[in-house]
Amino acid sequence: MSCREATTLPERSGPHADDPFSGRQPTSHERMTGRPWDASYHEGPAPWDVGRPQPAIVRVASEGGFAGAVLDAGCGTGENALHVASLGLQVLGVDVAETALAIAREKADDRRIEVEFAVADAFQLDSTGRRFDTVLDCGLFHTFDAAERPRYVASLASVTEHGGTVYVLCFSDDGPDTGPHPVRRDELRAAFDPSDGWKVAAIEPDRIETRFHDDGAPAWFATIERI
C-alpha cells in the first residue's frame, strides 16, 4: 500500500511565480503574518504540527465517527488523515501548503498507508470534484475571520453529502491560555446556519495539542450534520 498523489505539485512559474500566495486570496491569518501557510513548514515543524493525530480525532475515530469517503480539509502534514486512513477508510487530505503535503506523502509511503493528498484551496473545495460522507476540519476554521467564514462554510457545503457529517476542532475562548484566534461557541454555531442546510448536533469543550501548550489549548469539538 502507498500514498496516491491526487495532484502533481506544480512548479512555480507563470504570472504568479513571484507571488507567495500563488494568485489566491490570502486568508486573514496570512494577511496578519504576511506569510503563506507553506512558509510555516520551511524551518521545521509548524507550531500546530505535533507529529501525531489529535487525541480528539483518535477518540472519535475509535467510536466509529468516520464513515464512507473522508475529506481532511487543511490536513497539514497529514497525521489526522493518516490515522483515519489506517482504519481502512478512503481519505483525501487537502491543503494549500505544498511543503506540508510533500511531508504527508512521505509519511504515507513510509507507513504503507493508502491515502491521497492534494493541493486545494479551502475556499474552493469543490475543485476536488468529489463529495464526502465525513469532512474533518482540525485547526482550520479558527484561522478565518468573520467575513471569511460564510465563504468557507459554503465551500464545505459544496463537498459534503446530504446526511454527511462535518467535524470541527478549533481553538475556543473557554479557559485560560487560549490559542491564536479563539472562537466563541455562539460564533461557531452561527456559522452553520440551518437555513443553509446545516444542523449543529453538538459543540463540546475539548483540547488541541500544540507545540506551545504543555497541556493543549482550550478547544471546541463540533459535530455538524448536512441535511
Domains and CATH numbers, the chain: 32-226 (3.40.50.150)
Looking at the chain, how many residues does it have? 227
What per-residue string of b and e applies to 122-133 under the rule 16 or more CB within 10 Å gives b? bbebebbeebbb
pLDDT tens digits for 60-70?
999 999 999 99
pLDDT tens digits for 114-162?
999 999 999 999 999 999 999 999 999 999 999 999 999 999 999 999 9
Spatial separation of the C-alpha atoms in residues 45 and 41, rounded to whole Å: 6
Residues 6+ apart with CB under 8 A from 186: none
Spatial separation of the C-alpha atoms in residues 30 and 43, rounded to whole Å: 17
Judge residue 186's burial from the number of C-beta atoms within 10 Å of its C-beta, 0-12 exposed, 13-18 middle, 19 or more buried: exposed
Shortest CA distance to 172 belongs to which of 214, 223, 210, 217? 217
Is pLDDT at 226 greater than 50 in this prediction? yes
Is pLDDT at 21 greater than 70 in this prediction? no
